[in-house]
Amino acid sequence: MSNYYGSVEAGGTKFVLAIADENFKLIDQIKIPTETPEKTIQASIDYFMEHPVQAIGIGSFGPIDVSADSKTYGFITSTPKKHWANVDLVGQFKQALQVPIAFTTDVNASAYGEMIVTGLENLVYFTIGTGIGGGAIQSGHFIGGCSHAEMGHQMIKRHPDDLDFEGICPFHNDCLEGLAAGPSIEARTGIRGENMPENHPVWDIQAYYIAQAAVNATLTLAPERIIFGGGVMEVTGMLERVQKNFEQLLNHYVTLPCPLNEYLTLPSVAENGSATLGNFALAKSVLY
């Protein structure tokens, strides 16, 4: 009998629900809007009631509690997303579906999916979109001790042409997410990112901040590759801007493990599907 694995990519804007066979071949996938926890979680559970699986991998927006010994393991914790703080995400799925569940951050799931595709066991994955998150794998395992990493809220140096912008992070104002997440474009200029011309100087400011995150990851984690997903990175020329800024900021201080255009890359899985693949693989890992 074949095993079927489920994936829940729990994002702040939408939940991506998917099913795969034991070879991780996609069988079915739907997207539902992230509304109230009651409505969204129930719709997700209903989907898997109709499409039974043997195990599920959940990659969620955070912060989340990933400590198995904690009383709030499986919870979304101090998220600024309205109504979603202190929600028992894993508990509700387990109670309803009675299957093993793997639980991690959405960016960790993306990093895991990239590891499956590339075969690299030391990598960092950043999502640069509505929010910013980072996941890292070293020697095939997620980094983190008492909790998961929060790379999206690292402190960075201000661009000289961006000193008057306060930032949009409700916790830190001008951390990486506060300065480089997609909504910061409209907060600065009054123009939504998708309507911003590709040659607007604001993209160079964004690239400067994103490149700093890559430098920090290089110097602290020494990965084999850094991968950038998310809507901001889909802007034409954005990756090249980040690579250029990275090269200038690093200033040849350390030797990279491969050429720059191979070291800083876009995802290997099409349509930001790395998290879904990672969730399938994580679901399999808790089944055996």
pLDDT of residue 270: 83
Compute the average pLDDT of residues 131-149.
Answer: 86
**What pLDDT, on a 0 to 100 scale, did the predictor assign at position 171?**
87
The pLDDT assigned to 71 comes to: 93
Q: 25 lies in which domain range?
A: 5-106
In this structure, the answer to whether residues 133 and 243 fall within a common structural domain is yes
Q: Does the pLDDT of residue 2 top 80, yes or no?
A: no
Same domain, 41 and 132: no
How many domains in the chain? Answer: 2
> Which of 78, 106, 134 lies at the terminal end of a domain, its last residue?
106
Q: What is the pLDDT, as a whole number, of residue 1? A: 54
Tokens standing for residue 119: 């075969």
Q: Is the pLDDT of residue 53 over 70?
A: yes
Whether 279 maps to a domain, the answer reads no
| Tens-place pLDDT, residues 153-205 | 999 999 999 999 999 998 899 999 999 999 999 999 999 998 999 899 999 99
- Residues 126, 171, single domain; the answer is yes
| Whether 15 and 84 share a structural domain | yes
Task: Answer whether residue 239 shows pLDDT above 90.
Answer: yes
Q: Is 213 helix (H, G, I), strand (E, B) or coil?
A: helix
Claim to verify: residue 91 and residue 114 sit in the same structural domain = no
> In the prediction, which pLDDT does 60 show?
95
DSSP state letters, 39-96: HHHHHHHHHHHHS--SEEEEEE-SSB---TTSTTTTEE-S--STT-TTEEHHHHHHHH
**Per-residue model confidence as pLDDT tens digits over 77-95:** 988 788 999 999 999 999 9
71 and 209 fall within a common domain: no
Is position 287 within any domain?
Answer: no
Residue 31 has pLDDT above 60, yes or no: yes
Strands of the sheet with 264-265, listed across from one edge: 141-142, 132-138, 123-128, 225-229, 264-265
Q: What is the mean pLDDT of the chain?
A: 94
Banded pLDDT at 143 (limits 50, 70, 90): confident
Buried b (16+ CB within 10 A) or exposed e, 190-229: eeebeebeeeeebbbbbbbbbbbbbbbbbeebebbbbbbb
Grouping H, G, I as helix, E, B as strand and the rest as coil, residue 17 is strand
Contact 218, 251 (CB under 8 A): no
* Same domain assignment for residues 86 and 118: no
Looking at the structure, tell me whether residues 23 and 116 fall in a common domain: no
- Give the end of a domain, one of 81, 106, 131: 106
Per cent of the chain over pLDDT 90 is 85
181 inside domain: yes
Which of 106, 126, 143 is at the close of a domain?
A: 106
Q: Are residues 143 and 157 in the same domain?
A: yes
